[in-house]
Amino acid sequence: MPLHSFLAFALPATIISGIDAFLPRSGTILINLLAVEKADELVGLFTAAALLARLPELFVESISAPLLSNVSRADAMNNRPLVRQYTTRMTQAMVALALAYMLGISILGPRLVPLIYGKEFWFPRFDIFLLSVGTGFYILAKLYSQTAMVKKGAGYVAMIWAIATIALIAFSIGAPLPLLRRVEVSYIVANGFVAAVLAYQSYMAVYSNR
């Protein structure tokens, strides 16, 4: 691969990796920066709940690399039925996983937090639900990044993630909501935006006649 082609992919991919490392930790970072009182308590509570809400990410991490290589191979072979199959099955599996986990963690989360971390840790059911919704969108956003990167390029995907990150920070700072709720809703908005845009681009590329 020529150097300029390598840099054209590597630089956006590096940006995506940096954002990918920041977003799951953004709530803890923003609460720590924005809390005016009881910052340590809020950070501890939020981190405990967020770790439970983010457990499905472990599954996504394990399949992201194989998915990218399989989609790339099918695309290079111009095997559109196989690319469609990957995209459809991926969506079905991830939506089912996200919905099941949202329901499960909403029911069990308020009991699991004090059970795992101690009685002093307590987190409202609705807030755990919001975190799980944001995680569900994050899962879909990460997976659609794989297919969108193949079809639209790393630069485009990096731009979408960057816009979402800016929106997340701005919403967390300026939205007229309590701090925890601002952070939770901003996580949903940012990840939902990425998932929606990249899903649209992936399906347009896969199912269009071009």
Would you list the domain boundaries of the chain? 3-207
Per residue in 121-131, pLDDT (tens digit) is: 677 888 888 88
Per residue in 125-167, pLDDT (tens digit) is: 888 888 888 888 888 888 888 778 777 788 888 899 999 999 9
Query: Above 60 in pLDDT, residue 67?
Result: yes
**Range with the poorest average pLDDT among 34-48, 73-87, 120-134:** 73-87
Give the residue from 170, 195, 194 showing the smallest Cα distance to 183: 170
Give the residue from 59, 133, 178 showing the smallest Cα distance to 125: 133
- DSSP run (H or E) holding 35: none
- Once rounded to an integer, what is the mean pLDDT over residues 42-55? 79
3-state DSSP assignment of residue 52: helix
Residue 38, phi-psi category: left (phi > 0), alpha (psi -120 to 50), beta (remainder): left
Position 63 scores a pLDDT of 64
User: What average pLDDT does the chain have?
Assistant: 79
Tokens for 15? 């940006």
- Once rounded to an integer, what is the mean pLDDT over residues 57-80? 68
Q: d(Cα 138, Cα 149) in Å, to the nearest integer?
A: 16
Report angle CA 91, 97, 101 to the nearest 5 degrees. Answer: 145
**Range with the poorest average pLDDT among 27-41, 47-61, 193-207:** 47-61
Give the residue from 168, 133, 119 showing the smallest Cα distance to 50: 133
Per residue in 92-122, pLDDT (tens digit) is: 777 787 788 778 877 777 777 777 767 766 7
Residue 194: pLDDT band (50, 70, 90) is very high
Q: Say which residue, 200 or 63, is predicted with more confidence.
A: 200
Position 192 scores a pLDDT of 92
pLDDT-above-90 percentage for the chain: 11
Q: Which residues contact 39 (CB under 8 A, 6 or more apart)?
A: 31, 32
Cβ burial, residue 168 (10 Å; 0-12/13-18/19+): buried
Residue 2: pLDDT band (50, 70, 90) is low
